[in-house]
């Protein structure tokens, strides 16, 4: 069968001449004889520091592609640095996915290697690849090594929150806090906790979209480059076998990913990302699947933010395949990987080498992990909480609401010594959903009021329509849908209302009569600071973004357009 790239390069007509001639800057004539052309969708960027090493990874992929008889082609794509991009990288996830999708479709390529790392990069690459459905394989950039401060390991992200709370609570000097800064990031690679980047790298592997055994390899580890070489070789084979995302990413593979997400104690951000990826493929996945399939799965990994260790400990202890072997009976044996073999066929050899870091099934960190999906008159379309990152005594709680309309409002008032708040108060932050912010930032784990920190309070119930960093922790109810800016009841809660959280019953309610709730008219006006954008991506985003419970994709990006382009450019 004629390769896709041959549609550009084969033949003797003027158009084929143009396509070949402009590419002959190092490529020999036999590059156009029908061999697979493999794009390397590369999110390397100096402004995405977690991915800045990906050019080196790309070189190893190139060598693998060449060795297998293909032609590697570097394709820089939109990159998002989680710590830098304003107002939040999530605003740009769908833009990155859309731009990459269109670039993959528009160019003469037969397959693609997806190089990602920092939080939004792997999700956006997978969304793009799913909508184009060319043979695609993810090569995760890997986590950084563990830094230490005063002799103790530092979990990047998680320890920033902890140390800054120590400063606010008066237990750490600002000078000491700033001294920790140079130790926080020890090496190349993404955050080394079980945050969103680590989670999405591992989830990509469980979905079947990486070479098995690769995700979680630390970025500076020489085995990462060996894996990149192998991934390049595999991409060529995938084109020859026509192994596409639609054959790998099935409902079975998504349910396997949910089991793994629970067992590793992964980030809540995986919920919106997996729903968005599934939406691109038409896979029937809903938010309740995370609760139905994930609850009851034991937490087997003792990693920050909920636990003690970090990603290089995880890799040393046996990594993802060792975890999956422990929950093998919960995995669908039919789900395939990019190699053409089922995921479960890779588990026989897996071993746990450190049972402190990765627990055996009979000795879990926690018996029931996963993500709980809550409903009630405060979240008619659902909200999520990660019980493993919460305080057990707060999982059933009744308290008075203290409402902040915006992040700025919260910052202005939170540390006011006269703020009417105690440890039982339920902190509510709204205006942080996909439309409201816009972009659904990671602000749901709002800081605790300074005067309560000084009293020794370490956790409170917090409720928000935004997201939470995968490196954060606490009793935080997030992704409340509909969000306040979409007319959800979160927009009409008033300070002083009683809020009832009951995670075991999966309920989140405001204790006011239904008539009163109905009488409080939800409107965008209740979301202080919400201004409908006038132009540009923000306008397109706010006008089209869906709610968190379906993945926060743009409504017109859901689904797939395939890889065919019928019209010539000249
Ligand atoms: Fe890039 Fe955490 S900031 S992974």
Parse the chain into domains and list their residue ranges: 35-146+186-346, 147-184, 373-550
- Given a contact cutoff of 8 angstroms between Cβ atoms, the answer to whether 332 and 291 are in contact is no
Q: Residue 341 pLDDT > 70, yes or no?
A: yes
Please name the CATH architecture into which domain 373-550 falls.
3-Layer(bba) Sandwich (3.50)
pLDDT of residue 522: 62
Residue 167 CB-density burial (10 A; 0-12 exposed, 13-18 middle, 19+ buried): middle
Residue 287: name the closest of 561, 12, 550, 19 by CA: 550
197 CA closest ligand 1 atom index: 4
Tell me the best of 86, 116, 119 to mutate to test the pocket of ligand 1, counting ligand atoms within 8 Å of each CB and taking the most. 119
Q: DSSP letter at 161? A: H
CA 53 to centroid of ligand 1, rounded, Å: 13
49 CA closest ligand 1 atom index: 1
DSSP lists the bridge partners of residue 39 as: 73, 112
pLDDT of residue 526: 58
469 band by pLDDT with thresholds 50, 70 and 90: confident
Instruction: Give residue ranges with CB within 6 A of ligand 1.
Output: 50, 82-83, 118-119, 157, 190-191, 195, 197
What does 507-534 look like in DSSP terms, one character per residue? EEEE-S-HHHHHHS---GGGSTT-----
Mean of the pLDDT values across residues 517-546? 83
- The Cα–Cα gap between 240 and 252 comes to 25
Tell me how far CA of residue 98 lies from CA of 127, 330, 444, in angstroms. 8, 34, 27
Q: What is the pLDDT of residues 426-436, one digit of tens each?
A: 999 999 999 99
- The Cα–Cα gap between 267 and 472 comes to 9
3-class secondary-structure state, position 162: helix
527 band by pLDDT with thresholds 50, 70 and 90: low
- Beta strands 498-502 and 37-42 are unpaired
pLDDT of residue 523: 58
CA 192 to centroid of ligand 1, rounded, Å: 9
Q: What is the pLDDT of residues 67-114, one digit of tens each?
A: 999 999 999 999 999 999 999 999 999 999 999 999 999 999 999 999
CA 444 to centroid of ligand 1, rounded, Å: 17
Q: What angle do CA 552, 553, 556 make, to 5 degrees?
A: 140
- The Cα–Cα gap between 26 and 62 comes to 14
pLDDT of residue 96: 98
- The Cα–Cα gap between 245 and 436 comes to 33
Tokens coding 441: 């930032």
Burial 37-72 (b: 16+ CB within 10 A, else e): bbbbbbbbbeebbbbbbbeebbbbbbbbbeebebbb
539 band by pLDDT with thresholds 50, 70 and 90: very high
Tell me the best of 52, 155, 186, 191 to mutate to test the pocket of ligand 1, counting ligand atoms within 8 Å of each CB and taking the most. 191
Q: Residue 553 pLDDT > 90, yes or no?
A: yes
Tokens coding 442: 């990671």
Q: Residue 525 pLDDT > 80, yes or no?
A: no
CA 240 to centroid of ligand 1, rounded, Å: 35
81 CA closest ligand 1 atom index: 1
3-class secondary-structure state, position 104: helix
Share of the chain above pLDDT 70, in %: 98
Q: DSSP letter at 394? A: G
Tell me the best of 44, 45, 82, 88 to mutate to test the pocket of ligand 1, counting ligand atoms within 8 Å of each CB and taking the most. 82
190 CA closest ligand 1 atom index: 4
Please give the model's pTM, rounded to 2 decimal places. Answer: 0.96
Phi and psi based region of residue 513 (left: phi greater than 0; alpha: psi -120 to 50; beta: remaining)? beta
Tokens coding 429: 């932050």
CA 189 to centroid of ligand 1, rounded, Å: 8
Q: Residue 521 pLDDT > 80, yes or no?
A: no
pLDDT of residue 170: 86
Which amino acid residue places its CA nearest to atom 1 of ligand 1?
118
CA 151 to centroid of ligand 1, rounded, Å: 23
DSSP lists the bridge partners of residue 71 as: 37
Q: Which residue bears the tokens 């896979």?
A: 283
Which amino acid residue places its CA nearest to atom 3 of ligand 1?
82
- The Cα–Cα gap between 45 and 486 comes to 35
Q: What is the pLDDT of residues 194-240, one digit of tens each?
A: 999 999 999 999 999 999 999 999 999 999 999 999 999 999 999 99
- Given a contact cutoff of 8 angstroms between Cβ atoms, the answer to whether 274 and 237 are in contact is no
CA 267 to centroid of ligand 1, rounded, Å: 13
CA 120 to centroid of ligand 1, rounded, Å: 9
Least confident of 47-61, 118-132, 311-325, 364-378: 364-378
Strands of 77-221 (E only): list them. 111-116, 136-140, 147-149, 152-154
CA 471 to centroid of ligand 1, rounded, Å: 9
- The Cα–Cα gap between 228 and 217 comes to 11
Average pLDDT taken over every residue of the chain? 95
156 CA closest ligand 1 atom index: 2
Q: What is the pLDDT of residues 372-420, one digit of tens each?
A: 999 999 999 999 998 878 899 999 999 999 999 999 999 999 999 999 9
Q: DSSP letter at 282? A: T
Tokens coding 202: 């591992």
Mean of the pLDDT values across residues 470-482? 89
Q: What is the pLDDT of residues 283-332, one digit of tens each?
A: 999 999 999 999 989 999 999 988 899 999 999 999 999 999 999 999 99
pLDDT of residue 306: 80
Strands of 304-430 (E only): list them. 372-376, 379-385, 396-404, 426-429
- Given a contact cutoff of 8 angstroms between Cβ atoms, the answer to whether 19 and 7 are in contact is no
51 CA closest ligand 1 atom index: 1
Q: What is the dihedral of CA 310, 312, 317, 318, to 10 degrees?
A: 120
Tell me the best of 120, 197, 200 to mutate to test the pocket of ligand 1, counting ligand atoms within 8 Å of each CB and taking the most. 197
Mean of the pLDDT values across residues 483-507? 95
119 CA closest ligand 1 atom index: 4
Q: Residue 529 pLDDT > 80, yes or no?
A: no
Q: Locate all alpha helices (DSSP H) within 346-396, ordered by sequence.
A: none
Which amino acid residue places its CA nearest to atom 2 of ligand 1?
191
CA 402 to centroid of ligand 1, rounded, Å: 31
């Amino acid at each position: 069968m004629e390769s896709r790239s041959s549609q550009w390069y084969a033949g003797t007509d003027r158009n084929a001449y143009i396509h070949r001639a402009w590419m002959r800057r190092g490529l020999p004539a036999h590059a156009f004889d029908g061999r697979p052309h493999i794009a390397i969708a590369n999110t390397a960027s100096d402004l995405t520091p977690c991915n800045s090493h990906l050019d080196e990874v790309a070189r190893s992929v190139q060598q693998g592609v060449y060795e297998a008889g293909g032609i590697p082609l570097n394709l820089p794509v939109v990159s998002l640095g989680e710590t830098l991009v304003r107002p939040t990288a999530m605003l740009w996830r769908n833009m990155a996915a859309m731009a990459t999708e269109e670039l993959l479709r528009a160019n003469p390529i037969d397959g693609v290697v997806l190089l990602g790392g920092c939080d939004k990069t792997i999700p956006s690459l997978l969304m793009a690849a799913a909508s184009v459905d060319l043979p695609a394989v993810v090569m995760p950039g890997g986590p950084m090594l563990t830094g230490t401060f005063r002799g103790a390991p530092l979990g990047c992200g998680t320890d920033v929150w902890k140390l800054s709370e120590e400063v606010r609570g008066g237990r750490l000097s600002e000078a000491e806090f700033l001294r920790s800064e140079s130790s926080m990031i020890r090496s190349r690679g993404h955050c080394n906790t079980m945050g969103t980047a680590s989670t999405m790298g591992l989830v990509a592997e469980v979905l079947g979209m990486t070479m098995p055994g690769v995700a979680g390899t630390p970025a500076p580890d020489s085995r990462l480059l060996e894996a990149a070489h192998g991934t390049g070789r595999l991409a060529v084979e995938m084109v020859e076998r026509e192994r596409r995302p639609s054959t790998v990413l099935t409902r079975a593979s998504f349910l396997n990913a949910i089991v793994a997400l629970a067992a590793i104690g992964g980030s809540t951000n995986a919920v919106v990302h997996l729903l968005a990826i599934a939406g691109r493929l038409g896979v029937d996945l809903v938010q309740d699947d995370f609760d139905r399939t994930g609850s009851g799965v034991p937490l087997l990994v003792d990693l920050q933010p909920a636990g003690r260790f970090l990603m290089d400990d995880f890799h040393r202890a046996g990594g993802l395949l060792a975890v999956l072997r422990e929950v093998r009976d919960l995995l669908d044996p039919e789900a395939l990987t990019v190699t053409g073999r089922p995921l479960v066929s890779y588990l026989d050899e897996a071993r746990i080498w450190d049972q402190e870091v990765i627990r055996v099934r009979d000795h879990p960190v926690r018996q029931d992990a996963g993500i709980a999906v809550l409903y009630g008159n405060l979240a008619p379309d659902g909200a999520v909480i990660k019980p493993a990152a919460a305080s057990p005594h707060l999982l059933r709680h009744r308290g008075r609401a203290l409402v902040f309309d915006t992040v700025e409002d919260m910052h202005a008032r939170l540390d006011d010594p006269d703020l009417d708040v105690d440890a039982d108060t339920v902190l509510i932050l709204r205006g942080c959903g996909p439309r409201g912010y816009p972009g659904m930032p990671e602000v749901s784990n709002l800081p605790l009021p300074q005067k309560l920190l000084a009293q020794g309070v370490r956790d409170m119930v917090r409720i928000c329509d935004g997201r939470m960093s995968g490196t954060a922790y606490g009793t935080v109810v997030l992704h409340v849908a509909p969000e306040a800016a979409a007319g959800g009841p979160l927009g009409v809660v008033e300070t002083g209302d009683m809020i009832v959280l009951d995670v075991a019953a999966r309920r989140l309610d405001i204790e006011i009569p239904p008539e009163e709730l109905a009488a409080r008219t939800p409107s965008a006006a209740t979301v202080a600071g919400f201004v409908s954008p006038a132009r540009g991506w923000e306008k397109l985003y706010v006008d089209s973004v869906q709610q968190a419970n379906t993945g926060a994709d743009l409504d017109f990006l859901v689904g797939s357009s395939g890889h065919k382009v019928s019209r010539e450019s000249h």
